[in-house]
Amino acid sequence: MMRRQQAFTLIEILVALFIFALVALISGQLLSRTISAQDHLQDRGGRLAMVHRAMQIVQRDVLQLSNRSIRSADDFERLGPLLVDTDGFIEMTRVGWRNPLMHRRSELQRVSYRLEDSNLVRGYWHTLDRGYDAEPAFQTLLEDVDRVEFYVLDNQGQEHKLWPPQVQDGQATEPAAIILRIEIAPFGVVERIWQVPSAKLGETPNAAPSP
């Protein structure tokens, strides 16, 4: 008597195909999510590196702050060594302007930071005291920035959004630190504080403007 040959039924084949398709779908979703998460981490890491680089540039300028006021373009107004306004703008004089080509110029430099078209922009002037044709050059440090605020922390521990402040009780207030608060996706509010180099602030308090 011949043994009856065993075979898969149509229902069994359909069930097996359904299981294979389900496993393939789940595997594809897991792979897609893994690749998406890796791309997200890479983008976040690149963004963080850009923020860190921008903070280093701001820190370099703040730590080289000098007590050197400058002459404005109209010759009637002196601009203080450190200016901060309520629109998230800061301007300062810094030392240590590198001169590898040995040009005949000062080693002091005037720099500024502001929020412009959702970008954190650094401006710098090629001359310290400004003529009528003195225009700054600009460098974009960070893009897609929501908010930028600079504050000056005085030697009494008070924050000032406007600097220099008004003199009260005949006592001049000195800056002790500069605070930067910047709101940027995806990190939210990032805050940095740098102590003002008091030794450098006392180097040239009565320096005359350059010709």
Total structural domains within the chain? 1
Q: How far is CA 83 from CA 4, 21, 52, 65, 137, in A?
A: 97, 67, 24, 12, 18
Q: Is residue 54 part of a domain?
A: no
Q: Is residue 26 part of a domain?
A: no
Q: Is residue 160 part of a domain?
A: yes
Q: Is residue 141 part of a domain?
A: yes
CA atoms within 13 A on the CB side of 144: 8
Chain segment 166-175, per-residue pLDDT in tens = 766 656 688 9
Q: Is residue 151 part of a domain?
A: yes
Q: Please give the sequence-ordered ranges of beta strands (E in DSSP) within 19-171, or none if there are none.
A: 70-71, 78-79, 82-85, 89-94, 109-116, 119-124, 137-142, 145-154, 159-160
pTM equals 0.73
Q: Is residue 20 part of a domain?
A: no
For residue 120, give its domain range: 61-201
Chain segment 106-143, per-residue pLDDT in tens = 789 999 999 999 999 999 998 888 776 678 899 999 99
